[in-house]
Chain A
């Protein structure tokens, strides 16, 4: 069946470091892929999405490319800030969510 696997956290980086959070999926067909973010003490927000292969979603300096050949949707940011500290969830359609990756950015 369909599934999503995210890298385990926490991921701890220094400010201005390069970020990659891995997400791979197993799916039949061509589902849309999403990254959601949950800031401390807050609800869920859509960060970015991609609806078909080779699409790149981007928002707030974050990017992720829908790669069918590697069944991946890795989240990247070139220079992280302390304010990016949050839990990031990769999701495949509305039903299948990854376990979340906690990101901690140290000043």
Chain B
């Protein structure tokens, strides 16, 4: 079964550094997402991406964050100047079709630890 692949599985970074979290969505999917989950808490939507641009973003997704699909397969989340409170699991997801009809396939997540 096709999978969404995320790398690395765990990233430790110093406060103030930049990190790039990588995702390879399922190849025929058109919509891509990033979510985060602070340990033991709810899943929070960050951003959705379609047709090479951001389609929706949450209040969390401020100027510190950016997304890119640089080569048609990877989908990256960049976090600039990381803060302690950015420590969380970051999940990438993708889906093939039009709004609402399909659930998402999630990657297994990247655990980001900011120290």
Taking the complex as formed, is A44 at the interface, i.e. its CB lies under 8 A from any CB of chain B? yes
A-B pair number, CB within 8 angstroms = 51
* Size category, A interface: 20 to 34
Chain B residues, Cβ within 8 Å of A91: 43
Q: Is the CB of A95 within 8 A of B101?
A: no
**B65 interfacial by beta-carbon distance below 8 Å:** no
Which range holds the interface residue count of chain B? Answer: 20 to 34
Q: Are A32 and B101 in touch, CB under 8 angstroms?
A: yes
Residues on B with C-beta less than 8 A from A45 are 106
Scan B74-115; emit 1 where CB is below 8 A from any A CB, else 0.
Answer: 000000000000000001010000011111111111000000
Expressed in whole angstroms, the minimum distance between the Cβ of B57 and any Cβ of chain A is: 10
Which residues of B are interface residues toward A (Cβ below 8 A)?
Answer: 33, 35, 41-45, 48, 56, 58, 91, 93, 99-109
